[in-house]
Every structure is written in structure tokens, then in C-alpha cells.
Amino acid sequence: MLIKNELFKIFKKKKIYVSIIMVLIVLAVHAFLIKKSGMNSMGDWIQLISTQLAATGLIIFVTVVLFSADIFSEDYSLGTIKMLFVRPQKRILILMSKLGASFSILIFLSLIALVISAVINTFLFDAPLLNQYIPYETDTGEAVEKSYILYTIQMFLANIVEIGIYIFIASMLAIIFKHSSVAIIICLVGHFAISPILSSLYIAFSNLDLSKLILLENIVKSIPYIVFYNTDLSKYIINVPNSLETSIWFSIAVLSVYVTLFLFISYKIYCKRDVY
């Protein structure tokens, strides 16, 4: 019931419909480009599909982060937090309902993008997508083929996990600062700057001999344990070369620890803070 109320408030806002329209526009433009380019080879249109997933994922990311931060901060800015906390429901239930609403929006927008993308691609290409395979190189350098359907599902889930982590970050920061601006800025900077910078730095320094620079060596070794390094699980799906030799399970384990920490901090502050 609480989640329904939160979703009702979200769908009363124009921003959610603007996001849906933007996703549809991106997919429509993508379809137009494919049709005009006349691309038929597997490599060509797989590249376009990857661009399509990235573009729609960007829209969904920004939308979900905005809602995740606003859904907590607006209660403080509008003063409705006092009315919310005098209800018979426990604060932990209110907290989880707001997080659940954010994840519901994430899954809703992602499914729209996935289903429409699948429909468009099915009609645009000669062969059914079920029969399509993507060239893939394993960690041992062996050339194999991966099902396009499997690839799409894996990328879809990786996108859900990545944005889901930022939901926890945005929610926690909005609760701490009672304002959405800081949460939104940190999430955007983390996603677009810190995450790729950390990956690039580790790859750049990992092959160097840093035995004489103990401090720098320790800093480089600590990068795999930073949350922003592990948010992008797609690097394991497309087998991006990196010298970390970490597995997807390592990143999932690290992210699980951070999610537990974020939830604990959110719970302690949101459920124990005095309303004033």
C-alpha cells in the first residue's frame, strides 16, 4: 500500500512522462538510422544496438537518480515529513516503500526500453533475433559465439544492478543532507567521472613496477574495493580487457557490502532522527 502511494505521487509528476517520451524518441531515431544506413552485417548493427542500450540507459539513470533523491528530500522541503511520521506505519516500512518505489520506476522504464527495442530490432532485421549470435572472446582468448538474447538479458540485468546501486547512494545522501542537489551531483559525478577514471587508473598503473612507491602501490591496490569501480558489471559481459583479474562475483560481493552499509546508514538516520 505504501509503495502504491509513492508510485502514485511519482506518476503525478511530468518528469516521468518526459523520460518515457525521451526513451521512445531515442529508440525511434535509432531505428531510422539503421534503416537509412542499410546495415545488415552482424557487427554493424550489434554496435548500433549497444549504442541504443547505452543511450536509453543514460536517460533511465538520470531519471531514477532524480526520483530517488527527490522522493526523500521533498518530504523535508515541503514539511510533510512530520505528517508522514505520525502515521501508524513504522519508519522502516516508509523507508523501504520509498526505495521500492524507486526500484519499481527503474524496472518499469528498463522494461519499456527492452521490449520496444526487441520489437524494433525484430522487424528491422532479416533473421529472427533468436538465431543471432555475437562474436565473443573468452578470458583465455578463445573465440566463441554468444546468443544475442543472452547478451541482451545480461546487459539488461547489469544495467539494473548499476542504477540500483546509485538508488541506494542517492537515497542515503538525500536522507543525510535533507536535500536532493548533493545526492544528484555525487551520483552523476560518480557515474560519469569517478567510475571510468578509477578503471583507467588501475589499468594504467597495474602493469608498472610500484614496489618503490609503497603509498602509490597501496592506493592502486585499494581501487577494486571502491564502490564506483564495481558498479559497471557490463565489463565482465563484454570481456573488457583489464589487469585486475577480478570476477563478476568479486564485484557483486563488494557491492553487497556497500548496499548493506548504505541501508544501515539510511535506517539509522531516517528512523532515529527527530523531526523538527
Banded pLDDT at 170 (limits 50, 70, 90): very high
> For the whole model, what pTM was predicted?
0.84
Ramachandran region, residue 79 (left: φ > 0; alpha: ψ -120 to 50; beta: rest): left
Check pLDDT > 90 for residue 201. Answer: no
Write out pLDDT tens, residues 11-22: 777 778 888 888
| Amino acid 241: pLDDT | 53
3-state SS of 11-24? Answer: HCCHHHHHHHHHHH
Residue 274 clears pLDDT 80, i.e. is over it: no
Q: What is the greatest pairwise CA distance in the chain?
A: 63
Q: How many domains does the chain have?
A: 1
- Domain range spanning residue 150? 2-272
| Residue 112 pLDDT level (bands cut at 50, 70, 90) | confident
> Which DSSP letter does residue 130 get?
G
199, HSE (Cβ side, Cα atoms, 13 Å): 20
Distance CA 243, CA 241 (A): 7
**Per-residue pLDDT, 243:** 43
Question: Tens digit of pLDDT for each residue in 127-164?
Answer: 455 566 666 665 555 666 667 777 778 888 888 999 99
- Beta-bridged to residue 136, according to DSSP, are 144
Q: For residue 101, give the DSSP letter.
A: H
pLDDT digits (tens, 9 = 90+) for 72-99: 887 776 666 666 656 656 778 888 888 9
Report the distance separating Cα 27 and Cα 25, nearest Å. Answer: 5
Residue 276 confidence (pLDDT) above 60: no
Q: Whole-number mean pLDDT of the chain? A: 77
CA distance 59 to 63: 6
Task: Show Cβ contacts of residue 176 under 8 Å, excluding neighbours closer than 6 positions.
Answer: 265, 269
Q: Provide CB contacts within 8 A for 152, sequence distance 6+.
A: 114, 118
